[in-house]
Structure 1
Amino acid sequence: MTNRRAGAILSALLIGSGQLYNRQWLKGLLFAALGLTSIYFFIFELFDLLRGLITLGDRPSGFMKVGKMTRLVEGDHSIFMLIKGLVALIAALLILCYYVLNIRDAYLVGKHRDNGGKPNRFTESLALLGQKHFAYLVLLPPFIAIAFLTVLPLIFSILLAFTNYADPILPPANLVDWVGFDNFMKMINMKVWSKTFIGVLQWTIVWAILATFTTYLGGIIVAVLIHQPGVKFKKFWRTALIIPFAIPNMISLLVMRNMFNNQFGPVNDYLRAIGLNGLPWLTDPFMAKVTVVLVNMWMGIPITMILAFGVLTTIPRDLYEAADADGAGSLQKFRYITMPMVLFATAPVLIMNFAGNINNFNVIYLLTGGDPVNVGYQFAGHTDLLVTWLYKLALNQSQFSFASVIGIFIFMFIASFSIWSYTRTRSYKEEDMIH
């Protein structure tokens, strides 16, 4: 039997034994120590945690009579068991990777011996590891951190959609159970949920289109106007119009909320002062939607304006001179020269803005709070987006499972649209042609 095969088989049977077979004593002992620790931890800790991930507990907390006394007996907490089970699952996957690495290392060293080489000493192995695999060593800590701090919460939020974790079924007094696709079916079949979902989804799409189109086109128009040769004080206009971007969104939105207050807001006070009636900016369903679009334009146009300035400076002046020679007007130059060049450079940003507006929590929640109230909706108002409805369901109504269903839909919708639209942009296609 060759050294490579013998080392791999021994390492598969017992972690570290392949390294000992290849006469790498200290390395083999370290592999074996970590392997035995992992096996012990898996048998006595991880197995119970993984079992809890499957069962989500079998004994709820409650009062029980012990002798003549009634005491609160602590039972299983389904959500804690779910989280611990996911941690155990990721830990088990990391242990599996370590096990495969152990076999691979023994195989490669054995292969080196079969070819007439000598196994490296421990110091030589460390030096080779630092030289050949330095990038992996540096990336390993953030990879583990991402697994536990990013991937785990994401999986946890997805799994909640397949449970009945919603008021009144809340731990520790009640145990949470797996219910499969019941929540998805309720969202579709139950009229009170389906009506709210469809209504909020329609407004979310309309809002995303309006918010993206108005800020994008408005920012380009403002940038083009300032960029005109005859406009004076260009630096002043650029500085003045970029101020809304420099102010934190929260401050701007809270100020706007007070300015558009129906009874005491300065906007309606000015309208009344010139003999006009005040408008229901935030209390009428239609006017509230108009208001959030206008406020979003105030904050979003400077961002597009900055991007457009950078693109406009790269457009060759020869194109405009040729257009002037052909007798083209300002609108024709904007349509056939400026807009295509700007769109080509900023198409990915446009897609990103659309996806961001679908999840534009701050503008809606801080300006209107999702109001005015819609009596036909389930825990949602006229201006609620899917993301603000999700927030209300989870934080205000404890409907965590339904909030998770909405979160899954938002992710699938945004991911599908972003990938589909980006792969059809000119910048993406021409990049593929270059490569």
Structure 2
Amino acid sequence: MQNALQTGPSPTSAPSPKTAAWLSVVPGLGQLYNRRYIKGGILLLLALSLAASLGPWTAGGLQGLVTLGEDPNVDDSRTLLTEGILAALLSVVLLCAYGLNIRDAWRDAVRRREGERIPSVRQAFHDSYDKGFPYFVVVPSFILLAMVVIFPLLFMVALAFTNYSLYNSPPAKLLDWVGWANFKELFVNPLWTQSLLSVLSWTVVWTLVATTLQIALAMLLAVLVNDSRIRFKKLIRTVLILPWAVPSFMTVLVFAAMFNDTFGAINTQLLAPFGIQIPWLTDAGWARTAIILIQVWLGFPYVFTLFTGVLQSISKDWYEAADVDGGSRWQKFRFITLPHVLFATAPLLIMQYSFNFNNFNLIFLFNKGGPPVPGQSAGATDILISWVYNLTFTDNNYKMAAAISIIMGIVVAAFALYQFRRTRSFREEGY
């Protein structure tokens, strides 16, 4: 009677999950042990093929990543670094697949021991397609992301720990791993320390002042145009949006000519009658002022459009109720208009700050980060992104440019994480 009531194999005859897992050290053997012959054969054949075709290349790539070459007449450290990073990424993918192979053998053994029916290959294929369809869709995008984003990022991080510069550049010379020496140089060498502190402080000031001014101007204009006493609203809004419609690089080039110290229209036409001559491009303070004014001009139309849409969606009943309670214009703006506008546009306003933090086009097109500052490797209006560009393409100082890029990425990531953690959607996920 007891044997008749058993629904599965006895514990002594059932496969051992530990044995299946240990056999899966050679992919496919654990599946063969679980009597998944077709699946085990495919995995074993695939593992042998990958080991024969990609094994030597992966091992050579990882070795080149460690040594970065031994003979400059034969090896190019940049090529070895590239192949090494690709080999490391491929190794991570293969290790994940290897772990899934062991986990699959373990689970099949557990299911057989518990008396569950093991699906056929065809049924397993259909089940995996139904349950894993999102993964089939995500994998191609993930591969593209790895090649377009992750690989360049890893390459840049690797350069920050080498001695790649104008005076130590392949293929004439080989690169060497220098550890944290480049980061130490940034905070020990007075030239680099002063330049980093100056550029970082100006980047923060530039981001906060320029973005806050453009948001304030957009708010002021949006509230004024939305007033019921204003006529020709469509015409006024169209005119205010025009700076956004013109390509920004053209606008910056025009302003660069207008702010020119010698022949610019601002000095020769607007200020000359008053006997005023301002060194817009040669004085650090005036150059920074000009750049902030230009960014306010370029940035306020987009924010104005956002605010205008939100203002039109606010119910008039709120304002009528405030009139009944005797609320002033300032109180209606403070307690009705401003909260509604900021609540609806807060994520986009945060993006404005992030955009201006890395606003390379304006700095480069206006004066390429100038004027120069004695005792520094950066110009007076250089922000972090433009400084990195000059170090890379002008000075060929790749190692320091990579180190500064890492610091810049950490700052931006910390700011973004802080802002996301304050959002309601992030808190609702339970993080």
Q: What TM-score, normalized by structure 2, do the two folds share?
A: 0.90
Structure 1 residue aligned with 2:172:
173
Judged with a 3 Å threshold, the aligned counterparts in structure 2 of structure 1 residues 306 and 154 are, in CA distance, closer, same or farther, namely same
Q: Which residues in structure 2 correspond to 1:19-418 (within 5 Å)?
A: 19-61=31-73, 75-271=74-270, 274=273, 276-378=275-377, 380-418=378-416
Identity %: 38
Alpha-carbon distance change, 179 to 431 in structure 1, aligned in 2, over 3 angstroms: closer
Deviation at 1:229, TM superposition (A): 0.6
Distance change >3 Å, CA 55–CA 121, structure 1 → 2: same
CA distance in 2, matches of 1:23, 1:258: 78
Between stretches 327-336 and 388-397, larger displacement belongs to: 327-336
**CA displacement at 1:258 relative to structure 2:** 2.1
Secondary structure class of the residue paired with 2:350: helix
| Shift of residue 239, structure 1, vs aligned partner | 1.6
Counterpart for residue 65 of structure 1: none
Q: 1:82 to 1:430 in 2, by over 3 A?
A: closer
The 10-residue stretch of structure 1 (26-35 or 218-227) with the greater mean CA deviation from structure 2? 26-35
Q: Which of 125-134 and 328-337 deviates more?
A: 328-337
CA gap of 1:89–1:108, structure 2 versus 1, over 3 A, is same
CA distance in 2, matches of 1:272, 1:101: 73
Corresponding residue of 2:7: none
**Letter matched to residue 251 of structure 1:** M
The code of the aligned residue for 1:227 comes to N
Letter in 2 for 1:59: D
**2:226 aligned partner, one-letter code:** H
The letter for the 1-side match of 2:253 is L
Query: Offset at 1:346?
Result: 2.5
C-alpha distance in 1 between matches for 2:180 and 2:241: 48
Equivalent residue pairs, number: 418
CA–CA distance in 2 between the matches of 1:54 and 1:434? 41
**CA offset at residue 146 of structure 1?**
1.7
Q: Which one-letter code corresponds to 1:38 in the other structure?
A: L
Mapped to 1, the partners of 2:127 and 2:416 lie a distance apart of: 43
> What is the CA distance between 1:413 and its match in structure 2?
1.3
C-alpha distance 15-423 of structure 1, shift in aligned 2 (>3 A): closer
Q: State yes or no: 1:16 paired with 2:14.
A: no
CA contact (8 A) 2:77 2:170 kept: yes
Q: With structure 1 as the length reference, what TM-score do the two structures score?
A: 0.89
Q: Indicate the larger mover: 249-258 or 77-86.
A: 249-258
Query: How far did 1:84 drift?
Result: 0.8
Judging changes above 3 Å, is the alpha-carbon distance between structure 1 residues 432 and 122 closer, same or farther for their aligned structure 2 residues?
closer
**Alignment-derived partner of residue 17 in structure 2:** 5
Are residues 109 and 7 of structure 1, via their aligned partners in 2, closer, same or farther at CA, if it must alter by over 3 Å? farther
Unmatched 5+ residue regions in structure 2? 1-11
**Could you tell me which amino acid in structure 2 is paired with residue 418 of structure 1?**
A
**Counterpart-to-counterpart distance in 2, 1:249 and 1:76:** 44
More deviation, 36-45/181-190:
36-45
Moved more, 76-85 or 22-31: 22-31
Question: How many Å apart are 1:276 and its aligned residue?
Answer: 4.4
Partner of 2:9: none
- Tell whether the 8 Å contact from 2:25 to 2:102 is kept in structure 1 after alignment: no
**Which letter maps to 1:358?**
F
Letter in 1 for 2:364: Y
Deviations 1:378-417 (A, max 9, x none): 1x21110011001100111111111111111111112222
Paired residues of 2:369 and 2:379 also in contact (CA < 8 A): yes
After superposition, the Cα gap between the structure-2 partners of 1:49 and 1:249, relative to the gap in structure 1 and judged at 3 Å, is same
Q: How many Å separate the matches in 2 of 1:165 and 1:337?
A: 57
Distance 2:18 2:315 in 1: 68
